[in-house]
Amino acid sequence: MPSDLSVVMIGRDEALSLPRALRSVQSIAGQLVFVDTGSLDDTRSVAQRFGAQVFDFAWINDFAAARNAGLEHASRKWILVLDCDEELADPSVAAPVIERICVTEPAAACLVEIDNLQQDGEVLRHEALRMFRNDERIRFRNPVHESVAESVYEHWPTLAVPASGFRLRHHGYAQGQNAAKFERNLAIMRAWVDREPLNIYASYKFGVSLQQLGKPEGLEWLGRGFELLDRRPDKATFPFGRALAEAYLRCLARYGLHSEAERVREHFERW
């Protein structure tokens, strides 16, 4: 099994979900790192029972800061970031794939496919940069919807990111939305866009979250994000650009703003 892999996690009060996540990676990780952000339940002891090194981090409403604290404790050549409500799908199949990456992959990071299980049984899939080299240049950014993508593309601008060839399974949506967590994240995003009004990604994520709550304000923020991106000469290089445009178009259709949707579509097609 690959000893060159550190699995890094953060969480708070995740004692019920954590065993499934840790059990799925326990046999393939050379190191398990868990950053606790203030648990009041048995999260810490559960993590330790699976052999994880547990570190404390005082919560400051910044997921990137907490994740980066975990990266500082990673000692292996490669890092896999796992959420508490996720698990490695098909560990026996994934193990040799992960080992190959740790030993022979020349790229700095890999795209990992994530299966998001829904309450109705549907599975929605997306990809994220969840496995990457243990390199101090690769760090998370954004206080919520955090990602290493910006730092990866900043330091490896010509990188063609390969697919990892293994999957994660996310159970959070199937378990139902946690209202308290959703409101917490929304508050963090509102502070984020107030602090960085020209941040396109922040406007996009804030707009999508507001729309999920049925708040018309989401239309304004999606529109702001789209217009900011549309004015950039390098807009075609933004990995979330298509998703932003499509979310804005859906929102315009929902409110019957068909002429504006046609204008947005024309601009989008020229990207």
| Mean pLDDT, range 148-156, rounded to an integer | 93
What is the residue type of 147?
Answer: S
**CATH at residue 209:** 1.25.40.10
d(CA 231, CA 251): 20
**207 neighbors 216 (Cβ within 8 angstroms):** no
Same domain? For 235 and 143 the reply is no
| Residue 14 belongs to domain spanning | 5-170
d(CA 69, CA 8): 10
Would the pLDDT of 1 be above 60?
A: no
Domain-ending residue, one of 112, 135, 170: 170
74 φ, ψ to 5°? -70, 135
What is the residue type of 207?
Answer: G
From the list 130, 106, 128, the residue with the least C-alpha distance to 239 is: 128
Total count of domains within the chain? 2
**116 neighbors 48 (Cβ within 8 angstroms):** no
**CATH at residue 82:** 3.90.550.10
Q: How confident is the model at residue 177, as a pLDDT? A: 57
From the list 114, 221, 250, the residue with the least C-alpha distance to 173 is: 114
Same domain? For 48 and 143 the reply is yes
Same domain? For 95 and 23 the reply is yes
Same domain? For 9 and 128 the reply is yes
Residue with tokens 């052999």: 51
pLDDT level of residue 122 (50, 70, 90 thresholds)? confident
Q: How confident is the model at residue 49, as a pLDDT? A: 98
pLDDT level of residue 68 (50, 70, 90 thresholds)? very high
Q: Is residue 199 within a helix (H) or strand (E), and if so which, with residue range?
A: none
The DSSP call for residue 257 is -
Q: Is residue 34 within a helix (H) or strand (E), and if so which, with residue range?
A: strand 31-36
* Helix residue ranges per DSSP H, the chain: 18-25, 43-49, 63-71, 91-104, 149-155, 179-195, 200-212, 217-230, 241-254, 258-269
Would the pLDDT of 18 be above 70?
A: yes
Same domain? For 254 and 158 the reply is no
Check residues 178 and 164 and name the one with the higher pLDDT. Answer: 164
Same domain? For 213 and 142 the reply is no
From the list 181, 126, 124, the residue with the least C-alpha distance to 149 is: 126
Q: How confident is the model at residue 174, as a pLDDT? A: 64
Same domain? For 52 and 121 the reply is yes
Same domain? For 48 and 66 the reply is yes
**112 neighbors 128 (Cβ within 8 angstroms):** yes
> Under DSSP, is residue 258 helix (H, G, I), strand (E, B) or coil?
helix
**129 neighbors 101 (Cβ within 8 angstroms):** no
